[in-house]
Structure 1
Amino acid sequence: MTTDFKKQVQEKLANYIAQKGSQNKAAHSLTGVSSALLSQMTNDNWDQISETMWRNVASQIGHSSKEWVCVETTDFKMINYFLDDAKQNANVFAMTGDAGSGKSKTFELYIQDSKNSYLLSCAEYWNRKEFLVQLLTAMGVDYSGFTVAEMMNEIVKKLKSQQTPLIILDEADKLPDTVLYFFITLYNRLEDHCGIILCATDHLSKRISKGIKLNRKGYKEINSRIGRKFIELKGVNFTDVTQICIANGVENSKDIKEIFNDSEGDLRRVKRKIHAVKNRV
């Protein structure tokens, strides 16, 4: 492992600590990492730090040694507009976009430079406790020994004490109903204090519509709190793909057209195809 890599991680870590507010909060938000270790990394005391730990920290704070230039696509700009609005004005929005539209990467980049902003990548297996654990971890709060009620109270207390906090629930359609209801609780207790963004594929909007028709518990309340509207992302267009290709070393117009036609609007496919074109024999 090179010194340049460690320096890059060190620089990224300094920004991460600043975003979290303190070294202790940063350590609490990372798995298997202590405040003492972060102190060693930031102060050039590297002799006792294994390569495995460097990679562990690097992956958790979003650093990659592979060069890839991100471009401000149409959806990137749109998402950032609503993130800023939600954060500055404690607004609540729900947005939908196709898989591979760049939603998650946009969120990751946003929170890196936005203090008191917390991103949760939701999962199907989360129960109510796990959801709160994930949110407290993102906030850098030690939740040891807390009950579910105590965890929720701690979250509300911390967020109300912060300036312009923001919660982003990515892939929110994966949450079971019992956890999705926590969105109502968070809204009710943090209204006018904290911005909230729900984001998913259009499965979420269809799920909410179906739940309302079937008069399922909580669905009308959720729909009301997002303003009875889902913001639909535009998707990846030819201009977006062209800019991504040029930024990442593919400038031939024929290659760009080929990449766009092969992408099916999925930025993951764009990235793979750019790699294939650049390594074409």
Structure 2
Amino acid sequence: MKEEKELTPVQKDEIARLLVLEKEKLGSWDRVANKVAASEATVSHNMQDPAKWDRVSHTMWAKVAGKLGYTLTDTAWKFVSTTNTEVMFELLDRAQNEQLFMAVSHPAGQGKSAGTQLYRLAKKGVFYIECKESWSHKMFVIKMAETLGIKVDRMSVAVLTDLIVGYLKEQAIKTRPLLIVDEANKLNPASLRLFIPLFNELQDEIGLVLIGAHDLERRIKEGVRRDARGFDELESRLGRTYYRLVGVFEHDVTAICAANGVTDPAAQKRCWNRLHPERKSINGTYHLVSTMDLRVLKQAIKHERLRAKNQAYKSAQLEVVGGG
């Protein structure tokens, strides 16, 4: 059986700091404890005092890290801000400052989640939930309540919805809350309809952004076309507008390559070509842009690093042979 790797002091310190930030956002240690499914003493005392860290099990540290969106895997992959992440940042900023309800529908792997993560780290009053396809409507409401630090024990969907609205109204008095619902295209129709009463209750008090792949727009429009219950109202509250990102430019790829160990211009060009860029008109000017999943680029960069390593090894072998 594989032994679990113990968290480092640096990781525990980062989790402790995230808990403090979460407490500032949610308003109390009790709400933080509800969100991460731990006791208040654990998050406010044991995890805050390095002398008491050994009282918290590895499983609990890992669970709390997951609830806070903190990854424990050490991937060496360096994040680079791109044109798409900057566009995403601007959309979220507009939604929060102007209390807008909007939808971002764009193909997967193009920087929506990266831009969202960047925004969450930079701004206050931002609440984030990533949806799962397996969630029932009740599970979705429970997860949203947990995100806000609301205790969900044995409460009905109606009661939890009222508590969600009430908490966001409280936050709107102190700040400009932004609720980000990522992977919204995975929600079932009942869950999508929830945003209608949220809009009715919270219009001009909070910003709300639904983020999803390209099928988010298709699903809502198809619901409107079929006159499915609630879909016309939902689209109306989203302004019947679906925001898209721009795409990936060669300078984005060059920056990502350089940050992740591929500095040879020829290798960077090969990575760019792997994304099959096409000519696209943007504000009346044509540019070479790729709309492919950036996970393709990540694989290309890994291949280029391996290629460079193999070439360096062969060169070293030739030197040995020549020297002999």
* 1:4 aligned partner: 10
- Per-residue deviation, residues 143-172 of structure 1 (Å, max 9, x unmatched): 223221111111111101112111111121
- CA contact 1:20–1:115 (8 Å) conserved in 2: no
Partner SS state of residue 133, structure 2: coil
What are structure 1's unaligned runs of at least 5 residues? Answer: none
Pick the structure with greater CA Rg.
2
1:165 to 177, 181, 186: 177
Task: Specify whether residues 50 and 206 from structure 1 end up closer, same or farther in structure 2 by C-alpha distance, changes over 3 A only.
Answer: same
Q: Report the counterpart of residue 35 of structure 1 in structure 2.
A: 40
Distance, in Å, in 2 between the alignment partners of 1:22 and 1:167 is 19
Q: 1:266 to 1:4 in 2, by over 3 A?
A: same
Q: Note the C-alpha offset of 1:263.
A: 4.2
| 1:270 aligned onto 2:297 | yes
For the 8 Å contact 1:9–1:63, the answer to whether it is kept is: no
User: Which residue in 2 is equivalent to 1:243?
Assistant: 255
Residues in 2 aligned to 1:157 and 1:12: alpha-carbon distance in whole angstroms: 25
1:153 aligned to 158, 162, 165, which one?
162
- The percent of aligned pairs where both chains have the same amino acid is 33
- In the alignment, structure 1 residue 48 sits paired with structure 2 residue 44: no
Q: Equivalent residue for 1:206?
A: 218
Return closer, same or farther for 1:49/1:206 CA change in 2, 3 Å cut-off.
same
Give TM-score scaled by structure 2 length. Answer: 0.79
Partners in 2 of 1:166 and 1:8 — Cα distance?
Answer: 24
Q: Is the 8 A contact 1:29 1:141 kept in 2?
A: yes
**Could you say which residue in structure 1 is the equivalent of 2:227?**
215
Select which of 95, 98, 108 maps to 1:86.
95
Aligned to 2:80: 71
Deviations 1:162-202 (A, max 9, x none): 12111111121111111111011111111111111111122
Residues 157, 223 of structure 1: alpha-carbon distance in 2 compared, 3 angstrom cutoff:
same
Alpha carbons 1:259, 1:270 under 8 Å: kept = yes
* Cα deviations by residue, 1:1-36 (Å, 9 ceiling, x for unpaired): 4333333433444434434443332222124x3222
Which fold has the larger relative contact order, with Cα–Cα distance below 8 Å and residues 6 or more apart in sequence? 1
d(CA) in 1 for partners of 2:219, 2:9: 49
1:57 to 64, 68, 74: 64
| Structure 1 residues 76-113: Cα deviation after superposition (integer angstroms, max 9, x where no partner) | 11111111111112111111111111212322332234
Is the Cα–Cα contact under 8 Å of residues 28 and 137 in structure 1 kept in the other structure?
yes
Instruction: Give per-residue Cα distances to partners, 1:91-141, cap 9 Å, x unaligned.
Output: 111111111112123223322343332212122232222121111111111
Residue pair 2:35, 2:67 contacting (<8 A) in 1 also: no
Determine helix, strand or coil for the equivalent of 1:101.
coil
Could you tell which deviates more after superposition, 240-249 or 254-263? 254-263
CA distance in 2, matches of 1:241, 1:34: 44
Which range moves more in the overlay, 44-53 or 177-186?
A: 44-53
Q: Does 1:111 align with 2:97?
A: no
Using the alignment, how far apart are the partners of 1:115 and 1:130 within structure 2? 26
- TM-score (structure 1 length as normaliser): 0.90
**Cα offsets for 1:12-70 (capped at 9, x unmatched):** 44434434443332222124x32222221221111222333333333332244333322
Q: Note the residue ranges of structure 2 that are not aligned, 5 or more in a row.
A: 1-5, 277-291, 311-324
d(CA) in 2 for partners of 1:105 and 1:77? 10
